[in-house]
Amino acid sequence: MQFSFFGALGSILASSGFASFVEDPRSLIMIIIACVLLYMGIGKKFEPLLLVPIAFGMLLANLPLTGLLNAPVDGSSPGMLWVFYQGVQHAIYPSIIFLGIGAMTDFGPLIARPSSLLLGAAAQLGIFSAFLLALVLGFPGKVAAAIAIIGGADGPTSILVASRLAADYLPAIAIAAYSYMALIPLIQPPIMRLLTTKKEREVKMEQLRQVSKTEKIVFPIAVAIIVILLIPDTAPLIGMLMLGNLLRECGVTDRLSDTAQNALCNIVTIFLGLSVGCKAIASTFLTWETIKIIILGLIAFTFSTVGGLLFGKVMYKLTGGKVNPLIGSAGVSAVPMAARVSQVEGQKANPANFLLMHAMGPNVAGVIGSAVAAGFVLKVFGA
């Protein structure tokens, strides 16, 4: 048989991924979307630590014929991305991320002012608002609950709940959650100025009391026991969050705390991002539902900010003007970005204002609040 260069080339192209684009151009559209997300992460620095691996996972998942997503069949080896995704499917990656968050977080401001828990709870308003709106838009109850968690402004929690209740919508939910977290400095300030008066924003708060080492050690142990006994489904997130904080505060596990904050958290972030991105395939991502999720995420985030601010105004009244309502907006659990936004807006109104540590109380309360909300919806909808 005579060899033909052009015949061989044609045969290679016919069996390549390029030919698959002709049969189904939606994969090419997804690759373009992945490149746009890479630009947002690298060029615009929108949550790059997670958006870059998410976008690259999306890119890999939509390159045809790779077998990266193949499940094991009859003893065959599974695809690499299928293996990575098991860490999301079984709540491993989000829980380890919470371990790192706990090790990075100082719960002192929350312990010094326990009323901050109320601000963190009020800032979960977006979760319940988005849940009701998602039901109105026709989403099933489980999917509506997964979408609603975006309102907590907590990426790992959103990923955990979505993986259990709405796996097909996981990429859209994760991308919405992290995108809005990155846009906090743009989204929150107009709402903060709209709902508060200049007099309220100018309020200087008294310095927080000094929290003892004993209190900081007892706090994570007590919270883990009480919250997990109350809502057992919170165990993966609350358990790891409080373990991370205990490693930070106990004073005898500095090496473990450092590993949880840095090396371990960074490694797991890579696998988490790739795993989320690999679920973004054309058949489930290029739908009207994805657009609805993006819109609902913004609404949820807005309502969460509003809920925290309105309760901050209530505390301002009840304390005779001693609480600056701006710290209520930090009740969303984007640590520490939301607290920094409260600080910036407070200083714009009064250059002598230092709200950062006061805002950190509601901020870390929001982390606990979003984890509790996640446990609640998982309990109700039977993940």
Tens of pLDDT, residues 278-329: 988 888 888 899 999 999 999 998 999 999 999 999 999 999 999 999 999 9
**Residue carrying structure tokens 């995704």:** 85
pLDDT at 73: 85
> Could you give the residue ranges of the DSSP H alpha helices within 2-140?
5-14, 17-23, 26-42, 48-61, 80-89, 92-104, 108-112, 116-122, 125-136
pLDDT at 252: 97
Tens of pLDDT, residues 119-141: 999 999 989 899 999 999 999 99
CA-based R_g, the chain, Å: 23
3-class secondary-structure state, position 62: coil
Tens of pLDDT, residues 239-273: 999 999 999 999 999 999 999 999 999 999 999 99
Q: What is the pTM of this model?
A: 0.89
Tens of pLDDT, residues 220-240: 999 999 999 999 999 999 999
Q: How confident is the model at residue 27 (pLDDT cuts 50, 70, 90)?
A: confident
- What percent of the chain stands above pLDDT 70? 94
Q: What is the mean pLDDT of the chain?
A: 90
Residue of 171, 175, 177 lying closest to 284 (CA atoms)? 171
pLDDT at 216: 97
The H or E element containing residue 294 is: helix 288-318
Residue of 11, 14, 20 lying closest to 67 (CA atoms)? 20
pLDDT at 284: 84
**Where does residue 128 fall: left (phi above 0), alpha (psi -120 to 50 degrees), or beta otherwise?**
alpha
Average pLDDT over residues 38-67: 90
Can you state the percent helix, strand and coil of the chain, rounding each to 5? Answer: 75, 0, 25
Q: How confident is the model at residue 58 (pLDDT cuts 50, 70, 90)?
A: very high
